[in-house]
Structure 1
Amino acid sequence: MQRFDRSRFVAFGVLPAINAIALLLHGLALSTHGTDGSGRAVPAIAALAIICLLCTLSAAIKRGRDLGLHAGLTLLAFWFSLALGPCLFLYIGYLVFAKSKPKADAFGPPPFQPNIGTWLWSFLNLVWPWFVAVAAARIM
């Protein structure tokens, strides 16, 4: 499993977490102010938010490896902070600003510098849930 540096973690961990919050807020708006039955798309939007959080979890594990943490410890800390609500963003902030540890080399070589393809993939990862959410709101 690849290690993530700060920039990759921001691209594939922080931004999908913010995207999940935005999707949940969009679902809340649809369920409370939606017209013509658009609130029926809320379960699909909630599923998309869960998928975004799973992407954040994957990035957190990879970033944890860059910090020298085992995957089980990172997984436990992620779910514990998610259960505490806003503490998830405190944990994500720690993962963003923590320095890489030398013992992380046991988990593989350091990541290479991100290129334009990395940022393009990150952008596509942010956009596709919204296309699905809009389609679900139109279909349902």
Structure 2
Amino acid sequence: MLSGSNWTAAEIGHITVEKDGFTCNCGRVGCLETIASATGIIHQVNEFIQQNPSSELSHYFQKKGEISTKDIFNFAGDHLCQQIIQRTADALGVVLANLSVVINPSVITIGGGLSKAGDAFIIAIEKPFKGMLWHG
């Protein structure tokens, strides 16, 4: 495990992935955490629901009044949820591939709420990860 001189190494949630993205809790804009975290997924849901009021997820939100990250993965057949899951997986896969070029890890461990998303999410991460991985 990397710790760094100030114990903040490997805090990949604050790597910028979208220069015009959501504002992060840290005050910066476009951090990975604004996309690839439970909070980030909910931000995406709110944005997509406003743009796609006829989706199954939008109807569910109107009934329930709130949506959790678990709901997104439960509705993985909904086109809106598929877009959110893929956007999240793409961002995380690209960051992990870039980090792999720099630190060449033998193992990558995914923690936090997304670690409970299941095998389908890990498979979704693998495609952008393998596509961006340097094989030097």
TM-score normalised by structure 2 residue count: 0.34
The structure where helix makes up a greater share of residues is 1
